[in-house]
Structure 1
């Protein structure tokens, strides 16, 4: 891999939520998903002075805690099995060479989020939430490099009750898109006053090493089909819904 192929823009990082499915106290499988972000000022501009590694570490500690709390407060626990636990959230910044320069994990206490009810669907099944750096359906010359995916952990089997076709209902899809967006609103609106460079905020998006660019997310998108890591059957009909980023109510 050439050096040019791994160039990362300044102030970009990755939030990763790490889960485990525990049965009788024994971990049967693990799952994780991540989403990139960049630290920008309120007007959407880069910081005047690039962040030092010590400031990045401050942001990592604050954002990891905010992201953990945001998942716990914004997601409906009963969507997920009672055996699913959110072990921690990792926040990491990478340098322009692609190497990690600062990272932190949260929580550091005994307070651990877990799902609400029912047993888990197969671990390899997941709902895919895509993030778009452009309007879905519109032409964009760099569309392939302005899309990302996050695979949620396995749902509880009870989430399919009453649907009948092994898929989510339109109302559930709408609710999940809103909860995902509200989670990001909570992360963005957390108290970062203790962090040096207060007044700057994290913005979700897509990092393109090829373009050495960060594309802010404009829309979240998902459909009603629970994928097996995106290996979908041919001609399976799906109905997409999109939500403008940071617009849920």
Structure 2
């Protein structure tokens, strides 16, 4: 029996998610639920305490987030009902975290993480989305070496809707914007094909890198650098990575990595 933990900041969020997951017939999976409270501090403290006493094969963070008024114009994703987080930028310390992607379920996006509610979209700079717990969630899961998935539903426009948060809209979005049956279908596939049992052990999809890393014959350390840059690319750039690869595949591998890193710098918040 594999153990999956679903984590949300607020109990109101978790109750909706729990009610939807309880409707599913899950094979060989036991799902537990945890509400941590708002903010990175509560996420770090309460998730750490919970994981110290219980082990899980997979942890999922599901919740709502804010978005900039013009994100659908900038990124042409007006129809995105939810996003899968691939990169987190901490507004307080300007540090980023890159999240390994173990399933392909939604549009992979970058998100800003704030220690307090954001009322002015200018604070987000080039980021289109913002929440208050993702940075703490990723830090804890990474420290425990647990496979994880972060899914966020953009609900409130930063500014006017932040001041007048619509809880009913948030509940409806949590209920309807994610197909939980399809989510657990993808989780089942990951478990069947890749997950290794044992406390704190997991295996990341390496196959998505094979075409690229084998072409350049990367060393182990170069492959790890490439993984981080690749995840950053798919989180920040609204383009298929194969386009960049095809245009630069004849370069020396060191120059290829350097060009990729330099090209991504313009997308990073300064």
TM-score (norm 2): 0.27
Higher relative contact order (CA 8 A, sep 6+): 1
**Structure having the larger proportion of residues in strand:** 1
Greater fraction of residues in helix = 2
